[in-house]
Structure 1
């Protein structure tokens, strides 16, 4: 049985890597015509494990990828520093995607043990699965690329990097307590529901999810109205779902810097702090965002007294609600310790 599993693993690896392992680090870099130091920098940025000099681990596909990257640099399309940063970003995001996909594959093999026991059958299955995943991923990438290109290319060069945006956070209230009294299946179910809810609401309102942090989502939107609608709809749908905890949210509006899919600046910190003082089921917004929303019919903002939170001695804020919703008197909660922000 061990021999069968080893053979199946080798077959799967060959399919996934696009060929056999043929080259050491030096041989791969020589064949690609790329200095070894540059190749090693790229491999480290991509998150590949460091291997001994004599280890034969690289394939013809590795050589071709290295050669293509070097050609882009030589043509001036990618600066060396930008290349490393891009590789690091790709490595971080794709490693998470790969982990999730392998978890799915493992579940399939557990449910179908006869598939794992038959090397040829498993090989055929992987050969069908991998191209299908590639097509889906490529399609999703092109769709997102089209959406962002249409928006970005219509602005000036400076605005491609930095512009005014709404930054928002929403998190599940009492999630730490929930994890202590829940089993793994319950925890996975709640996190999956939260991910699905937030992804759908953000997409429906033309926003973008920056990152998911377990019990919390960080998102951005181009306009105040879009940001407000995302936050309010998230909270409403969570409240209507008996299997989800209540959510709370914080929104801030202003100048942010975009870099490799992430956003930076004081607006990010303000949105995080607002989330930390929001009551369950409420949305707190910065005074700047409140001013933008004040004249929009669907929403009502009510200013609250300034609060002192980490990094801001007197943070001005307001409660955001829909215009047809009653606005009760809601006290603020103290600023609670949260994960470290920028």
Structure 2
């Protein structure tokens, strides 16, 4: 049985790697014409595990990837000072994607045990699956690339990296308690619903998800109206779904720095702090964002007393709701620093 499993694993690996393992790391670098030190820095940034000098683990595809990267750097397309940082971000995102896809493959094999029992049949299945996944990933990447390129080409480089944006967070209320009393299937179902809801609402309102943080989503929007619609619609749809906990959100507007798909600056920190003091079903916004929204139409804003939170003294904030809703007086939740994970 063990020999059959090993044979199946070797077959799948060969399909995924595009060929056999043929080279040590020095041999791969020599064949690509790339210094070993540069290649090792790139491999570490991509998240590849270190291997002994004598281990034969690299394929012709690894050699070609090294050669292509070096050619792009030599042509000035990739800044040598940014290549490693770019590889690190790419490796982190693709690692998560690969983990999910392997879980998907395991579910398929679990539901169809005859696939895993036959090495050749499993190989044929993976050979058909991988190109399909590549086409889908390539399509999604090109669509996002086209959308962002249109904006980037119409904006100066400095404005693209440093500009004003709405930054928001939304999280599920009571999620920690929910995880303690739920089984794995229930937990997966709720997380999947939350991910689907947030992705749908952000896309509908032309925003962008920066990252998912377990029970929390971080998003950005170009305009105050888009940000307001994202936050309010998320909370409304969560309330309408009996299988989802209530959400709460915090948003701020102002100058942010964009780098490698993430955003930085005090606006990000303010939005996070506002989320921590928001009540279930409530959107808290910074006073700067409230001022931008005050003349935009279907929104009602209730200014709250300033509150001191971690890193900010007397932070001015407001409750955001749609204008046709009654805006109640909502007490604030004190900002309690989260215990650091050990």
| Equivalent position SS for 2:242 | coil
Aligned partners of 1:163, 1:185: CA distance in 2, in Å? 42
Mean Cα deviation higher: 149-158 or 279-288: 149-158
| Cα distance, 1:296 vs structure 2 | 1.0
1:187 corresponds to 2:187: yes
CA separation of 1:52 and 1:138: change in aligned 2, threshold 3 A: same
Q: Deviations over 1:145-201 (max 9, x none)?
A: 011111111111211211100000000000011111111111111000000000000
CA distance in 2 between partners of 1:233 and 1:304 (Å): 22
1:123 corresponds in structure 2 to 123
Partner of 2:296: 296
CA positional deviation for 1:6:
1.0
Please state how far the C-alpha of 1:74 moved relative to its aligned partner: 0.7
* Structure 2 residue aligned with 1:45: 45
| Corresponding residue number in structure 2 for 1:208 | 208
Question: Which residue number in structure 2 is paired with residue 97 of structure 1?
Answer: 97
TM-score by length of 2: 0.98
Could you tell me whether the CA contact under 8 Å between 1:249 and 1:275 is conserved in 2?
Answer: yes
Distance 2:179 2:236 in 1: 23
1:161 alignment counterpart: 161
Q: How far 1:339 moved relative to its partner? A: 7.4
Deviates more, 1:101-110 or 1:151-160: 151-160
1:282 match: 282
Structure 1 unaligned regions, length at least 5? none
Aligned match of 1:262: 262
Alignment of 1:1-342 (within 5 A): 1-338=1-338
Q: Give SS of 1:214's match.
A: coil
Question: The residue matched to 1:328 in structure 2 has which SS?
Answer: coil
Give the deviation of 1:122 after TM superposition. 0.4
Gaps of 5+ in 2: none
Tell me the SS of whatever aligns to 1:11.
helix
Residue by residue over 1:34-88, the C-alpha shift from the partner in whole angstroms, topping out at 9 and shown as x without a partner, is 0000000000000000000000000000000000000011111111121101100
- The separation in 1 between residues aligned to 2:61 and 2:77, in whole angstroms, is 22
Tell me how large the CA RMSD over aligned residues is.
0.8
Please identify runs of 4+ aligned residues in structure 1 that moved more than 2 A.
336-340
SS of 1:57's partner is coil
What is the rounded CA distance, in whole Å, between the counterparts of 1:88 and 1:161 in structure 2?
19
Give deviations 1:240-298, integer Å, cap 9, x for gaps: 11111000000000000000000000000000000000000000000000000000111
SS in 1 for 2:235: helix
CA contact (8 A) 1:306 1:315 kept: yes
By how many angstroms is 1:337 displaced?
2.5
Structure 1 residues 114 and 245, CA gap change in structure 2 (3 angstroms): same
Post-superposition CA distance 1:116-149 (Å, at most 9, x none): 0101110100000000000000000000001111
Number of aligned pairs? Answer: 340
Give 1:338 shift. 3.6
The alpha-carbon deviation at position 336 of structure 1 amounts to 2.5
Q: Is the 8 A contact 2:310 2:337 kept in 1?
A: no
Write out per-residue CA displacement over residues 82-134 of structure 1, whole angstroms, 9 at most, x where no aligned residue. Answer: 11011000000000000000001001111111100101110100000000000
Residues in 2 aligned to 1:260 and 1:51: alpha-carbon distance in whole angstroms: 28
TM-score scaled by structure 1? 0.98
Larger mean Cα displacement after TM superposition, 104-113 or 263-272 = 104-113
The 3-state SS of whatever aligns with 1:209 is strand
Deviations 1:189-233 (A, max 9, x none): 100000000000000000000000110000000000000000000
Cα distance in 1 between the residues matched to 2:132 and 2:281: 41
CA distance in 2 between counterparts of 1:331 and 1:133 reads 49
Question: 1:201–1:233: 8 Å Cα contact kept in structure 2?
Answer: yes
